[in-house]
Structure 1
Amino acid sequence: MMSKITKLTLLAFLCAYGTAMAQINTPQASPAGSVSSVVGLTEVSIDYFRPKVKDRKIFGEGSEFLQPYGQLWRTGANSGSKLTLSTEATIAGTKVPAGEYLIFTIPGKDEWSFMLYSDLSLGGNVNGYDAKNEVVKATVKAEKLSSPVEALTFNISDISEDNTKANIELTWSDVSVKVPLEVSFVEQVMADIEAKTKVNPSNYVQAAGFYLSQNKNLPQALEWMNTYLAIGDNGQQFWHVHTKARILAAMGNKKEAIATAQKSLDIAKASPNGDFGYVKRNQDFIASLK
């Protein structure tokens, strides 16, 4: 026979189990959000929780504001916000190793303090904040927005044309804050080139093109291109012959550059599959060198 205590225990368990199984999912007051982008070769991502204004006063002087000036903020809701870098990057002038970091800020009227924090176990607990775990501490400008933003929003914005710079941007209520981020990928690409051209000769073309785009060691770029063009029928690939002409021109060898571009032009004209615009491209290039 089951004792009375055992029966009560079993009943309590079944009730608790039934309650757990019957839980209703409702939207979070501060839903989770994330944003990511590749800058250069670095993946930059931010995971955070998005509080909403809800007719509250957010940033300002005094206790009537949700986040008063001068007070440490977890920069989001719940467990705060986390920045992840796939490679080293320079943030607000400080080199930051690849890894994960919490984002903390101290809002102000015209300027904010921006911090990256290495101890992820802290979460959003500002009371346990210890300055010794700061990887970055910088002062950044705060700008007023003409149109308010209801939910806290992070973005990786203003990526430069050469893919070396961007901003970590935070907008909420009537405020926008941008933190500069810089990456360097030339050395990484050059190491990749050295490794992969040894196993795949077609990588010589990509390597030569990259060196040309960076204006680095053009004689090496020319050597790689010549190596590739000398293999089989590669010398008939007029688009790569054109790149060789551009390398020669960048080296200051105008006469040979013109001759090479003319060769690319002639092959393009004779191509049974079309010239892909390289007839005009070569004509314009030759004209620019005369």
Structure 2
Amino acid sequence: MKRTFWITLLFAASLTAGAQVKTPAASTAGSVSTTVGLTDVKVAYYRPSAKGRKIFGTDATVLVPYGKIWRTGANQGTVVSFSDDVKVEGIAVPKGDYLLLTWPGATEWTVSLYKDVALGGNTGAYDKSKDAANFKVKASKLAEKVETLTIGIGDIAADNKSAKVQVAWENTSIKFTVTVDYDAQVMKSIEEAMKSSPNGNSYFQAAVYYLETGRDLNQALTWINEAAKANPDAFWVLHQKAKIQKALGDKKGATETANASLAKAKTAGNRDYQMMNEDLIKSIK
């Protein structure tokens, strides 16, 4: 009898030790990342929801009072990461991980990228000397309510040199600009590729980069010719060659090359390059 009792007790204890009750988190984990230029930008955060509460303001009942430090999320706060050195709102910020701390206001927020990620949600221990960057941004009103705190990375510039991080909750939004500089990295990669065994793709990319950044166009033409030799049917290569010829002032050569690219694009059924070549030919005339 005693043996049966102890076996039953041990079995029950093992069930108790192994059983875990799982419930949804009050503030779900979220993340967003993108590549700006050659730099990875990531935001990891916890996403509280309004749940009928007033979020920002001066009332005693608001969740985030104006002028008070906020961890800009829930739990351990929000971490912003950069894989390379960047500039944030014009301030140089070394690569690494930073807490995103804010002081909301009706029309303007103060934003800090804080070096000591271990601070977490303990904002009472904030030390201004540990700011990697501290700046102000305008706050704007949203037409539609955002129920759950949402942080995004968007507005990527056409030259891929900047993007904006947006924080949106309730009816308020702020954005701040992250700027990258990838020129030195690209130029180094071109130099190394040309010293080793360049192929058609590396010739093509180097030529296009020289064209887009206003560098030695004669060198760009040499490289694009090598790329065309490696892939004679590549209408996209010929299109870039025509653009380089146009930039060099060779209207006749540019027109001939653009027409050749147009013909190959038609054969391949690529409407985008057909249209781009047609526009290029018109611009040459």
Task: Name the TM-score, length of structure 1 as normaliser.
Answer: 0.83
State the match for 1:129 in structure 2. 126
Give me the whole-angstrom Cα distance separating, in 1, the residues matched to 2:213 and 2:181: 12
Describe how 1:142-161 pairs up with structure 2 within 5 A. Answer: 142-161=139-158
For each residue in 1:15-41, what CA deviation from the matched residue of structure 2 results, as whole angstroms up to 9, or x when unmatched?
A: 5x6544212010111111111122222
Could you tell which deviates more after superposition, 75-84 or 88-97? 88-97
Task: Using the aligned pairs only, state the percent identity.
Answer: 42
For each residue in 1:107-127, what CA deviation from the matched residue of structure 2 results, as whole angstroms up to 9, or x when unmatched?
A: 111111000011111111111
Q: Tell me the number of residue pairs that the alignment of Structure 1 and Structure 2 aligns.
A: 274
Amino acid at match of 1:289: I
Q: Cα RMSD (Å) of the superposition?
A: 2.8
Could you tell which deviates more after superposition, 149-158 or 192-201? 192-201
Aligned-residue offset at 1:230: 5.1
Q: Are the structure 2 counterparts of residues 121 and 219 from structure 1 closer, same or farther at C-alpha, using a change threshold of 3 Å?
A: same
Report if the CA contact (8 A) 1:265-1:283 is conserved: no
Report if the CA contact (8 A) 1:75-1:104 is conserved: yes
For each residue in 1:199-221, what CA deviation from the matched residue of structure 2 results, as whole angstroms up to 9, or x when unmatched?
A: 23211012112222333321221
Describe how 1:1-290 pairs up with structure 2 within 5 A. Answer: 15=13, 18-197=15-194, 198-202=196-200, 203-229=202-228, 234=231, 237=234, 239-261=236-258, 264=260, 268=264, 274=268, 276=270, 285-290=280-285
Report if the CA contact (8 A) 2:107-2:139 is conserved: yes
Give me the whole-angstrom Cα distance separating, in 2, the residues matched to 1:116 and 1:280: 45
Aligned-residue offset at 1:73: 0.7
Q: Are the structure 2 counterparts of residues 96 and 255 from structure 1 closer, same or farther at C-alpha, using a change threshold of 3 Å?
A: same
Secondary structure class of the residue paired with 1:206: helix
Stretches of structure 1 lacking an aligned partner (at least 5 in a row) = 1-6
Q: Are the structure 2 counterparts of residues 78 and 210 from structure 1 closer, same or farther at C-alpha, using a change threshold of 3 Å?
A: same
Give me the whole-angstrom Cα distance separating, in 2, the residues matched to 1:286 and 1:173: 50
Stretches of structure 2 lacking an aligned partner (at least 5 in a row) = 1-5
Give me the whole-angstrom Cα distance separating, in 2, the residues matched to 1:266 and 1:53: 55
Give me the whole-angstrom Cα distance separating, in 2, the residues matched to 1:281 and 1:57: 51
Name the larger-Rg structure.
Answer: 1
Task: Name the TM-score, length of structure 2 as normaliser.
Answer: 0.85
State the match for 1:4 in structure 2. none
Q: Are the structure 2 counterparts of residues 248 and 68 from structure 1 closer, same or farther at C-alpha, using a change threshold of 3 Å?
A: same
Secondary structure class of the residue paired with 1:142: strand
Give me the whole-angstrom Cα distance separating, in 2, the residues matched to 1:279 and 1:39: 29
Aligned-residue offset at 1:282: 5.2
Aligned-residue offset at 1:180: 1.4
